Amino acid sequence: MRILALESSCDESAVAVLDADGGLLAHEVFSQIELHRLYGGVVPELASRDHVQRLLPLLRQVLTRAGTTPAELDAVAYTAGPGLVGALLTGAALARSLAFAWGVPALGVHHLEGHLLAPLLEAEPPPFPHVALLVSGGHTLLIEVRGIGAYRVLGQTRDDAAGEAFDKTAKLLGLPYPGGPALAQIAAQGRAGAFEFPRPMLDRPGLEFSFSGLKTAVLHAVRDQVLDDRLRADVARAVQEAIVECLCVKATRALEQTDCQVLTVSGGVGANRQLRATLSRVLAGRGARAYYPRPEFCTDNAAMIAVAGLARLQAGQHDDLAIGARAQWPLDTLESIA
Ligand code: KG4
Ligand code: ZN
């Protein structure tokens, strides 16, 4: 089976072709970062308009790179939610139309299931069952993954997502949009111990997170100070340490609670080097192991949508002719195909 996958849930237009035997044949991502930079965040209407312009040229490019023709495709998968509904509709309408024209089935994929299954794209995929730490701009979740579609949310954030915490504190430091990668980059030059920020919820049992207090803590720390590069780096280092420690402690606790030795890490923040280094060290000391997708499969992409779509199509699932797009879509309502 060979499938085409489209992703357009937020500010990345992405297309991929995945073959059940030959693996990932080609994938492309066009990021709208430049488009939204001026506004300091994603503007939904601009995102939708840009997807409309980008998706078809990307599709042509990917089909050429994959060395495949539409006649060789068995299905079309697309991100059906959760996400910005206008942005989702552009990919959903295109995917559904292509599938109709080519006479093949279409399937709407859950964006977070895509992130969860992204580690399966690597040469050494994680075994099931495992615990997933899904850390992106919109979500911070610990999930017990017993199989594809068999998800139990163990804990999540009460307020800001981890990526949001990176982005918002970066904005306070005057770093360029999007803040997460910029903050991570300068954190490497920060001095250890120059600042110490709170680690909320660590003193409490359970697997919930809270990151919204970090912004206030950073505001207090830099108030009345000259924001030069040295101060920025020191604060960035302390912010990153606080976020990484919260994620590591709770992820380790989730492994303990589920008596599991395997953790996967996905979503944009999963690309963070400090998070990877710390988690790998902590888990190695406990005889457990972390699996990561390569950084380009941590942030939004269509390869992960293809993996999730292929698994479900192979299990015989597909949608009717309706164009599906859901702004909200609880992960634990998905059908298990295990
Ligand atoms: O998964 P993603 O591309 O989009 C969502 O579905 O949200 O994640 C984007 C988030 C942003 O908040 C971005 O700042 C953050 O991931 N991010 C990072 C890094 N790379 C991306 N945060 C910290 N360190 C990074 N290296
Ligand atoms: Zn995402």
Q: Is the pLDDT of residue 148 over 90?
A: yes
Give the tens place of pLDDT for each residue, 244-284: 999 999 999 999 999 999 999 999 999 999 999 999 999 99
Nearest listed ligand to the Cα of residue 271:
1
Distance CA 109, CA 308 (A): 7
User: 263 CB under 6 A from ligand 1?
Assistant: no
Percent of the chain at pLDDT > 70 equals 100
Say if 59 falls within a structural domain. yes
* C-alpha 29: how far from chain center: 14
Q: What angle is formed at CA 254 by the lines to CA 269 and CA 266, rounded to 5 degrees?
A: 25
Mutate to test the pocket of ligand 1, among 111, 113, 117, 136 (most ligand atoms within 8 A of CB): 136
Residue 326 lies inside a defined structural domain of this protein: yes
| Residue 288 and residue 305 in one domain | no
Which band of pLDDT confidence, cut at 50, 70 and 90, is reported for residue 324?
Answer: confident
Where do runs of H (alpha helix) occur along the chain? 33-37, 44-66, 85-102, 111-117, 162-172, 179-187, 213-222, 229-258, 273-284, 303-314
Q: Which residues are CB-contacts of 111 (< 8 A; sequence separation ≥ 6)?
A: 7, 9, 79, 81, 82, 83, 300, 305
Does residue 189 sit in helix, strand or coil? Answer: coil
Same domain membership, residue 97 and residue 63 = yes
Angle value at C-alpha 129, between 126 and 135, nearest 5 degrees: 65
Are residues 161 and 225 located together in one domain of the fold?
Answer: yes
Concatenating the DSSP letter of every residue in 12-45 gives: EEEEEEEETTTEEEEEEEEE-HHHHHTTTS--HH
pLDDT at 320 over 90: no
For ligand 1, is residue 268 a contact (CB within 6 Å)? yes
Say if 338 falls within a structural domain: no
Mean pLDDT of the chain: 96
Instruction: Say if CB 134 and CB 112 are below 8 A apart.
Output: yes
> In total, how many domains does the chain have?
2
Q: Is residue 143 part of a domain?
A: yes
| Nearest of 113, 110, 111, 122 to residue 291 by alpha carbon | 122
The pLDDT, as a whole number, for residue 210 is 97
Residues 138 and 105 in one domain: no
Q: Measure the CA–CA gap between 14 and 303, rounded to whole angstroms.
A: 8
Omega of the bond leading into 178 within 30 degrees of 0 (cis):
yes
**189 and 328 housed in the same domain:** no
Residue linked to tokens 């059908």: 335
What residues pair up with 142 in beta bridges, in sequence order? 133, 155
- Bridge partners (DSSP) of residue 135 are 140
Domain of residue 110 covers 2-117+297-333
**Residue 300 Cβ contacting ligand 1 at under 6 Å:** yes
Q: Determine if ligand 1 sits within 6 Å of the CB of residue 163.
A: yes
b/e code 313-336 from CB counts within 10 Å (16+ = b): beeeebbeeebbbbeebebeebee
Answer yes or no: is 276 within a domain.
yes
Query: Is residue 122 one of the residues assigned to a domain?
Result: no
Nearest to 306 by CA among 75, 125, 82, 93: 75
- Give pLDDT tens digits for 176-232: 988 999 999 999 999 999 999 999 999 888 999 999 999 999 999 999 899 999 999
Residue 53 inside a domain? The answer is yes
Residue 288 sits in a domain whose CATH number is: 3.30.420.40
pLDDT (average), residues 27-37: 96
Q: What is the mean pLDDT of residues 161-166?
A: 97
User: Is the domain of 64 the same as that of 94?
Assistant: yes
Task: State the closest ligand 1 atom to the C-alpha of 300, by its place in the atom list counted from 1.
Answer: 3
Kindly state if the Cβ of 169 falls inside 6 Å of ligand 1.
no
Same domain, 258 and 137: yes
Tell whether 97 and 18 lie within a shared domain.
yes
Residues 102, 28, single domain; the answer is: yes
Q: Label residue 147 by pLDDT band (50, 70, 90).
A: very high
Strands across the sheet containing 106-110? 23-31, 12-19, 2-7, 75-81, 106-110
Does the beta carbon of 83 sit less than 6 angstroms from any atom of ligand 1?
Answer: no
Q: Rounded to whole angstroms, how far apart are CA atoms 107 and 99?
A: 9
Q: Is the pLDDT of residue 338 over 70?
A: no
111 and 132 both lie in a single domain: no
Strand pairing category for 150-156 and 140-147 = antiparallel
Q: Whose CA is nearest to atom 7 of ligand 1?
A: 137
148 and 184 co-located in one domain:
yes
pLDDT band at 154 (very low <50, low <70, confident <90, very high): very high
Cα dihedral sign, 108-114-117-119: positive
Q: Summarize pLDDT for 5-27 with one digit per residue, the tens.
A: 999 999 999 999 999 999 999 99
| In the predicted structure, residue 321 carries a pLDDT above the cut 90 | no
C-alpha distance from residue 191 to each of 12, 196, 244, 276, 279 (Å): 34, 11, 16, 20, 21
181 lines ligand 1 (CB under 6 A): yes
Q: What is the position in ligand 1's atom list of the atom closest to the CA of 139?
A: 7
Residue 133 shares a structural domain with residue 271? yes
Cis ω on the peptide bond leading into residue 205 (within 30° of 0)?
A: no
Ligand 1 within 6 A of 269 CB? yes
- pLDDT one-digit tens code per residue, 58-92: 999 999 999 999 999 999 999 999 999 999 999 99
Residue 103: C-alpha distances to residues 70, 76, 181 (Å): 10, 10, 42
Q: Which atom of ligand 1 is nearest to the CA of 273?
A: 26
Residue 57 lies in a domain: yes
